[in-house]
Amino acid sequence: MTMSDCSQVSFDNSDTRREEMHNTMEAWAEDLVEEVDDAASSKQFQEWLDVQSRFHDYSYRNTLLINRQCPHATRVAGYRTWQTEFDRHVKEGENAIWIWAPIIAKQCPDCENSPSYHERSDCDYDETPPEEWSKGLVGFRPAPVFNISQTEGEQLPELETEATGDVDELLPALLEAASSLTVDVAVVSRDEWSHGDAKGICQYRSPAEPPLVEARNRENSADLAVTLVHEYAHALLHNDTDDKTERSKRELEAEAVGYIVGRYFGLDTSGSAFYLAAWEGNEPEVIFDRLEWISSTAAEIIDVVDGVMEDE
């Protein structure tokens, strides 16, 4: 993967600043597209993708059940699945997370019940014997699953998505810049974080209230800074849209802004490539379709943060 140039840039000439910024951001967008392509074809990403494909895609109802019982759940699987698929074992004394598991059995073509329930029903179907019926969904049963934090054993592959670099001046400036960007911001301790594995969130509120950005605190301050930029981008770009089908494109836009702003301030944001590659069905070339939005949002954040840093 191509690594980002971590030396901070500047656009000091006021006469050419706008053009220089646009050209540089367009070049960086091209770099990001290339990095995403490289990331998607890398051995590390393929290994991660293989593991992800073995996790069950839970229904909305089961997702709610999981979140109610274990708000911090990230990857869940059954007791045996952890053993056979991932070479991990549930720790002694762990409480199960209960979900609804489908019951697949021979199914009456008419009433769609299993043979035992069909016999007790009022269904008169008898054209074919039960042993010739096709299998189908006949009901649900409670089933236990466990989050990865409840298990131990073989490590699962991880993607290196975190930004790195020096943010001693940048991070305080980003927090101070929130008011100028018309965003409320809070950095939340790990113990008080209630949004699972997410690094940050942006909550859109009533028109009278600015969006609320929350970021989970962590040791890597550079990654925290880029997370704040990512969520600021959501606040600036997506406050007036509620189209869930556009979610992957919104993530691409916000991450591209984070990549560009972080790179401007001298951070290594090449981990964004893995982040974007992980969004299934998302074509990185969409960056160019939305480059004007991305670059103008990045420039707005850069201008405000630069102003804060100059005033200090």
208 with 263, same domain: the answer is yes
Residue tagged 């810049």 (tokens): 177
How far apart (Å, rounded) are the C-alpha atoms in residues 187 and 200? 9
| 186 in the same domain as 125 | no
- Is residue 5, in this structure, part of any structural domain at all? no
**pLDDT value, residue 220:** 97
Domain end marker among 105, 132, 153 = 153
Same domain, 38 and 24: yes
Tell me which residue range forms the domain holding 170: 17-47+158-311
Residues whose CB is less than 8 angstroms from the CB of residue 268 and which lie 6 or more positions away in sequence, other chains included: 3, 4, 6, 163, 164, 165, 222
205 and 245 part of one domain: yes
Within this chain, do residues 215 and 301 fall inside the same structural domain, yes or no? yes
Q: Does a structural domain hold residue 245?
A: yes
Count CB neighbours of 74 within 10 A: 12
235 touches 257 (CB < 8 A):
no
Query: Would you say residue 70 lies in a domain?
Result: no
Amino acid at 159: L
Specify the amino acid at residue 202.
Answer: C
Count up the domains in the chain and report the number: 2
Residue type, 289: D
Residue 112 and residue 164 in one domain: no
Query: For residue 151, what are the β-bridge partners?
Result: 90
Give a three-class secondary structure readout of 105-169.
Answer: EECCCCCCCCHHHHHHCCCCCCCCCHHHCCEEEEEEEEEEEEEHHHEEECCCCCCCCCCECCCCC
Residue 59 lies in a domain: no
Residue where one domain finishes, among candidates 153, 183, 212: 153
Using CB atoms within 10 Å of the CB of residue 98, give its burial: 0 to 12 exposed, 13 to 18 middle, 19+ buried. Answer: middle
Which of 153, 182, 203 lies at the terminal end of a domain, its last residue?
153
Would residue 71 count as lying in a domain? Answer: no
Residues 6+ apart with CB under 8 A from 28: 259, 260, 263
Q: In terms of domains, do 276 and 147 share one?
A: no
- What six digits make up the tokens of 18? 């706008």
pLDDT at 2: 47
| Residue 148 sits in the same domain as residue 181 | no
Please report whether residue 56 resides in a domain: no
Residues 192 and 80 grouped into a single domain: no
Q: Has this prediction a pTM greater than 0.85?
A: no
Flag whether 188 is in a domain.
yes
The Cα 146–Cα 167 span in angstroms is 37
* Per-residue pLDDT tens digits of the chain, which is 312 residues long: 444 444 456 666 566 777 788 888 899 999 999 999 999 999 999 988 888 888 888 888 898 899 889 877 888 999 999 999 999 999 999 999 999 998 888 888 888 888 887 888 888 888 888 888 888 888 889 999 999 999 999 999 888 999 999 999 999 999 999 999 999 999 999 889 888 778 999 998 888 899 999 999 999 999 999 999 999 999 999 876 666 557 778 889 999 999 999 999 999 999 999 999 888 666 777 888 888 889 999 999 999 999 999 876
Burial of 244 (0-12, 13-18, 19+ CB in 10 A): exposed
Let me know if residue 67 belongs to a domain.
no
**Is the domain of 93 the same as that of 114?**
yes
Residue 281: left (phi > 0), alpha (psi -120 to 50), or beta? left
Q: Are residues 82 and 134 in the same domain?
A: yes
Q: In the numeric block, which tokens belong to residue 181?
A: 């960007």
Say what the pLDDT of residue 33 is: 92
> Residues 72, 77, 80, 83: what is their CA dihedral angle, to the nearest 10 degrees?
-70
* 270 and 173, same domain (yes or no): yes
Supply the pLDDT for residue 38: 92
The tokens of 49 are what?
A: 């993708």
- Beta strand 76-77 with 212-216 is unpaired
Q: What is the distance between the alpha carbons of residues 259 and 59, in angstroms, rounded to a whole number? A: 33
